[in-house]
Structure 1
Amino acid sequence: MRPDHIARLASRLDDDSRAGALRALVNNAAIQLNSPVEALPLSEWRRQFEVNLFGHIAVTQAPLPALLRHSGRVVNISSVGGRVAMATYGPYAGTKFALAAVSDSLRRELAPLGVRVVVVEPGAVRTEMSDRLITTANRLAAAMSPEQRDRYGRLIQATNAHSATHIKRGRPADGAARLIAKAVTAGKPRTRYTVGRDAALITRLSRVLPDRMLDRILAAGLRPHYPRTAMA
């Protein structure tokens, strides 16, 4: 997050004659650091939240006066990880759960003032971020202690393999973009949109299943991806 850039944005938006009417803000910036909770250094936790949560809040605060003047819209790109947190997804999912909560509060604050807030929750989407996910997970795993690698090595390999398979079957980025455009332009937008059948399914399951049953379903989906040997 660059506070100086955000300050310049706010200054420019103060003058509608220069910037024009601001109708919508789409918050899409994110990084994904997959790691067991125990093993991820606090500095990396803070970096994850700085980009995925605090950056969104800062970029929302700056143009809100302009959005209020023109009955605009805020669209926050969350994730199915903002509904269900799989093993090793704690840092990323933590930011997305938090973003969903902030979005709910913001929606209730701004609805009487004429600004609508929408959350988009993608499942697997084929993007450059997806390609970087496994590389980053392996980098973080390499920095773990021998004891942590012994505890979590096979789990990390399984989640990496599961992610790679899931991403290959994911929705093209242009399909996700069309749905985001709908969230921006719909006359009466829903409060939430899911992207992809996987996101729709897991969102429904998370609403109706007990936690332990959902745990078993997620574990069963991960089981075929476990390696026969532990991570070196």
Structure 2
Amino acid sequence: MTTSTQIQRLAIVTGASTGIGRATAVRLAADGFHVLAGVRKRSDGDRIASSRIEPIILDVTNDEHIAALVERVAQDPAGRPLSVLVNNAGVAVNAPVEVLSLDDWRFQFDVSVFGQIALIRALLPTLLSTRGRVLNVTSVGGRVAMANFGAYSAAKFAMEAVSDSLRREVEPFGVAVVKITPGAVSTNLTESGLAAAARVTDTMTPEQRRRYAELSRAFIAQAEGFARDGVSPEHAAAVISKAVNARRPKTRYTIGRDGAMFTFMPRIVSDRLLDAMLRSQNKSLAQEKR
């Protein structure tokens, strides 16, 4: 339900070109916020623009883009304060640790960690003044690091730590920090992840191809399963809306049954048992692609 208070407030959603980010921008606009939707291309912005969704060209690794966004918030023509930052922008670079180049590791962290931190740091003075909230979209990969997901999970684990530290630093001053933990969501991040994995596979030596053949088949089957069986971006956006609008939000909201399961599992299962379970799952997935 829209309230007069919400209509007078701004929300920023990064990575709003597609998937969870786009659906979240639409949902928060319906909730009554004026949404500054971070997109990489003007054509993406044209597709999402509406009376309450204002596309902003935003590459979170670009300092000039971040500075322009801060200026846009400060000079809002309607005088609306910034209430919400949804850090959703991210990439998925998936390959075995042995195979993935350091440039790919750096790219994963530049977008999914350092870009998020840069945006938080730039906007935090404003959010402190408005007693706003920060929502960081992490992943079940930030709770359980599966084979082939080393770089992606490392970045998500890092954002788990950043979120916890930030929450303990700023909640005494009225800023809520919330972790959003999706499981399988049907988005085109799956497609881009498959494309990145294929590019990396092309650089493998023949020995590496043999070593990781089963793992590669399992990864493809898993990604196809995410696209086929994952919850919709709109479902994820509804959870994010709940966290945004809660009077006293929880520190974490999970999305999907697997999101809840993988968040809880490391607390009750030993590392060795979890290794065996994931190895068995990979064997079953690899069988699908034979």
Determine if the alignment matches structure 1 residue 59 to structure 2 residue 119. Answer: yes
Where do 5+ consecutive residues of structure 1 fail to align?
Answer: none
Determine if the alignment matches structure 1 residue 90 to structure 2 residue 144. Answer: no
Letter paired with 1:23: S
- Go from structure 1 to structure 2 and tell me whether the alpha carbon gap of 1:92 and 1:59 turns closer, same or farther (over 3 Å shift): same
Counterpart-to-counterpart distance in 2, 1:133 and 1:100: 21
- Equivalent residue for 1:112, pick from 167, 172, 182: 172
- Bigger relative contact order (CA 8 A; separation at least 6): 1
Which TM-score applies when normalising by structure 2?
0.76
Determine if the alignment matches structure 1 residue 127 to structure 2 residue 187. Answer: yes
Counterpart-to-counterpart distance in 2, 1:226 and 1:183: 37
CA contact (8 A) 1:74 1:117 kept: yes
Q: What residue number does 2:259 align with? A: 199
- How many residue pairs get aligned? The number is 230
- Equivalent residue for 2:235, pick from 161, 172, 175: 175
**What's the offset of the Cα at 1:221?**
1.4
Q: What residue number does 1:150 align with? A: 210
Counterpart-to-counterpart distance in 1, 2:108 and 2:282: 24
**What's the offset of the Cα at 1:136?**
1.8
Counterpart-to-counterpart distance in 2, 1:201 and 1:217: 13
Counterpart-to-counterpart distance in 1, 2:79 and 2:120: 16
Letter paired with 2:229: R
Deviation readout 1:197-225 (Å, 9 max, x if unpaired): 01111221111111001111111111112
- Go from structure 1 to structure 2 and tell me whether the alpha carbon gap of 1:104 and 1:213 turns closer, same or farther (over 3 Å shift): same
Q: What residue number does 1:31 align with? A: 91
- Equivalent residue for 2:249, pick from 189, 194, 198: 189
Moved more, 191-200 or 8-17: 8-17
Counterpart-to-counterpart distance in 1, 2:83 and 2:151: 32
Secondary structure of 2:177's match? strand
Where do 5+ consecutive residues of structure 2 fail to align?
Answer: 1-60
| Identical columns (%) | 46
Counterpart-to-counterpart distance in 1, 2:226 and 2:83: 35
Deviation readout 1:45-99 (Å, 9 max, x if unpaired): 0000000000100111111111111100000000000000100000100000000
**What's the offset of the Cα at 1:184?**
1.1
Q: What residue number does 2:135 align with? A: 75
Moved more, 35-44 or 58-67: 58-67
Counterpart-to-counterpart distance in 2, 1:185 and 1:54: 27
**What's the offset of the Cα at 1:17?**
6.3
**What's the offset of the Cα at 1:16?**
6.2
Letter paired with 2:66: I
**What's the offset of the Cα at 1:138?**
1.5
CA contact (8 A) 2:218 2:289 kept: no
- Go from structure 1 to structure 2 and tell me whether the alpha carbon gap of 1:115 and 1:87 turns closer, same or farther (over 3 Å shift): same
